[in-house]
Amino acid sequence: MDPVELIWRNGEFLPWEEAQTHVLSHGLHYGTGVFEGIRCYETSRGPAIFRHHDHLDRLEKSAELYYLELPYSAEEIRGATHELLRRNGLSSAYIRPLAYRGYGSLGLYAKDAPVDVIVAAFPWGAYLGEESKNGGIRAKVSSWRRISPGGSIPHAKASGSYLNSILAKTESTNAGYDEAILLDERGFVCEGSGENIFLVRDGQIVTPPQVASILDGINRKSVIQIARDLGYAVVERDVARAELYLAEEVFLTGTAAELVPVREIDDHPLGQPGEITRHVQAKFEDALTGRAEEYLEWLDFVEAPEAAAPDSSEASDSESIGRITPAA
Ligand SMILES: Cc1ncc(COP(=O)(O)O)c(C=O)c1O
């Protein structure tokens, strides 16, 4: 991780090294946090955050599912994020907002533990490697099943849920693969340890449905729309494990990884990234980086400081942005 200058925490911009938390923070002990992974891309019209509103909306929903009351509105977190990117001089970045129960109580009825909110932004390249986007990756079906709705909430992007992803990722990496594919509790295909999954079967694009314990990925949603706009049929249905091996093409989508073809699963070769994967990937990358006019509405442009100043007299005083008042 490459440190940058500042991290936003509870309304203040702190030096990177000073953004610490108490060792008795509730979230550290029990995983009581919700977060997002977001990317900002450099475009010809300046830095732009991909589907920022959708990410903040999911953050709010994840918080609600785990009874966390966010002390800041989505709009305040959005404003803080823009200011953070500007102050850190970042034109492209991985952005990590996190809301977690902080210091004050260790009981499991956690209503008394305060909710702390941070936003960090820092440079982070393609999660599975830049080459993976061209050449594809090798994946292994995990012996660990994805968290199930019977005991947890797959739809929430919650810190504690990632122990499950970490088990799967560690197993696949130790076995020499690039990524894990998890099945759901029923044994149907679910997703990667940090990505949603798509298959091509008989020319049709298939992806596991909401009931397959997936995280409802924002890139999944984007790719479904892009693929349909390109004229492909996209079906959300349960996928049997063997279909992974029988597929013409398989690819993964996620904010960190972007769109990554899979070239081998459990030692069954799928071959070089296929035509449909390539076609959708090219348009997807255009959408991320502002080259696709039809998807410009997905981009939240980060205004340069000079442009931001006339918006309000308060905004021109950057210190005032650093002290955002908590939402009621
Ligand atoms: C478990 C899991 N599934 C799927 C995804 C893909 O979601 P998104 O496209 O919103 O990044 C992620 C990444 O956030 C993830 O962690």
- If asked whether residues 101 and 143 sit together in one domain, one would say no
- If asked whether residues 29 and 113 sit together in one domain, one would say yes
- If asked whether residues 152 and 190 sit together in one domain, one would say yes
CATH number at residue 21: 3.30.470.10
Query: pLDDT category, 24, cuts 50, 70, 90?
Result: very high
Query: pLDDT category, 312, cuts 50, 70, 90?
Result: very low
Structural domain contains residue 148: yes
**What is the residue with the minimal CA distance to atom 8 of ligand 1?**
217
Q: Work out the mean pLDDT of the chain and round it to a whole number.
A: 93
Query: Measured between alpha carbons, how far is 304 from 321 in angstroms, rounded to an integer?
Result: 15
CA atoms within 13 A on the CB side of 148: 11
pLDDT at 244: 98
pLDDT tens digits for 130-159?
A: 899 999 999 999 999 999 999 999 999 999
pLDDT at 72: 98
256 CA closest ligand 1 atom index = 11
218 CA closest ligand 1 atom index = 10
Q: Is the per-residue pLDDT at 324 higher than 60? A: no
18 by DSSP, 3-state: which? Answer: helix
Q: Is the per-residue pLDDT at 256 higher than 60? A: yes
The reply to whether ligand 1 has any atom less than 6 angstroms from the CB of 207 is no
Q: In which domain, by residue range, is 47 found?
A: 6-124+299-322
Structural domain contains residue 62: yes
The residue whose CB lies within 8 Å of the most ligand 1 atoms, and thus the one to mutate among 195, 223, 259, is: 195
Question: Residue 198 pairs with which residues in a beta bridge?
Answer: 251
The reply to whether ligand 1 has any atom less than 6 angstroms from the CB of 194 is yes
- If asked whether residues 238 and 303 sit together in one domain, one would say no
pLDDT tens digits for 266-282?
A: 999 999 999 999 999 99
User: Strand 137-141 to strand 179-183: parallel, antiparallel, or no bridges (unpaired)?
Assistant: parallel
Q: Is the per-residue pLDDT at 19 higher than 80? A: yes
Q: How many residues does the chain have?
A: 328
Structural domain contains residue 310: yes
- If asked whether residues 286 and 186 sit together in one domain, one would say yes
- If asked whether residues 208 and 252 sit together in one domain, one would say yes
pLDDT tens digits for 184-197?
A: 999 999 999 999 99
**What is the residue with the minimal CA distance to atom 15 of ligand 1?**
194
The reply to whether ligand 1 has any atom less than 6 angstroms from the CB of 52 is no
214 CA closest ligand 1 atom index = 3
- Give percent of the chain above pLDDT 70: 93
Number of neighbouring beta carbons within 10 Å of residue 251: 32
Structural domain contains residue 150: yes
- If asked whether residues 175 and 311 sit together in one domain, one would say no
User: Strand 196-201 to strand 249-254: parallel, antiparallel, or no bridges (unpaired)?
Assistant: antiparallel
The first and second tokens of residue 312, run together, are 């309000």
pLDDT at 111: 85
pLDDT at 230: 98
pLDDT tens digits for 211-224?
A: 999 999 999 999 99
Structural domain contains residue 111: yes
pLDDT at 242: 98
The reply to whether ligand 1 has any atom less than 6 angstroms from the CB of 281 is no
Q: Report the domain count for the chain.
A: 2
The reply to whether ligand 1 has any atom less than 6 angstroms from the CB of 247 is no
Active-site residue set: 157
- If asked whether residues 145 and 109 sit together in one domain, one would say no
**Alpha helix segments (H runs only) across the chain:** 26-30, 52-65, 74-88, 130-135, 162-174, 218-229, 241-246, 275-288, 305-308, 318-322
Structural domain contains residue 46: yes
Query: pLDDT category, 306, cuts 50, 70, 90?
Result: low
